[in-house]
Amino acid sequence: MISGLVQILLFQGLGELISRFALPLVPGPVIGLMVLLGYLLVHGSVGASLDLVAATFSQHLGLLFIPAAVGVVMFWPQLQTHALAVVVALVASVVLTIAVTALILKALAGPDSDAR
């Protein structure tokens, strides 16, 4: 388990370095995740220790929502004040995400796969 954690932290650290010196607009953890994905694709398999860490993280994924819930409670007065703007932003982002996903899927499917 320690080996898997070390691997994840190394890739995150590498992502932070790349973000700091080469791609400042992309967050370090995102770059680290992409580098880890590339490593796993080249390597061809996931090691047992990394698989164990990933499975453990997946089982406890709900814990990651605790800081977000605390933030909502802390900033509840501001959220009430700007409720309309928050709702409009959320609805617009969901609609835009669905539309962009549909367009990308249509472009990737190609002209052969029109509605049947």
pTM of the model: 0.59
For the segment 48-89, what is each residue's pLDDT rounded down to a tens digit?
999 999 899 889 888 888 888 898 899 999 989 999 999 999
CB 47 within 8 A of CB 2: no
- Own/partner contacts of 39-45, CB < 8 Å, gap of 24 or more, are 39/11
Write the CB contacts of 1 (distance below 8 Å, at least 6 apart in sequence). Answer: 49, 52, 53, 56
For the segment 98-115, what is each residue's pLDDT rounded down to a tens digit?
999 999 999 888 777 665
* Domain boundaries along the sequence of the chain: 1-59, 65-116
What's the confidence (pLDDT) of residue 39? 94
What's the confidence (pLDDT) of residue 40? 93
Q: Tell me how crowded residue 88 is: count the other CB atoms within 10 A of its CB.
A: 11
What's the confidence (pLDDT) of residue 115? 54
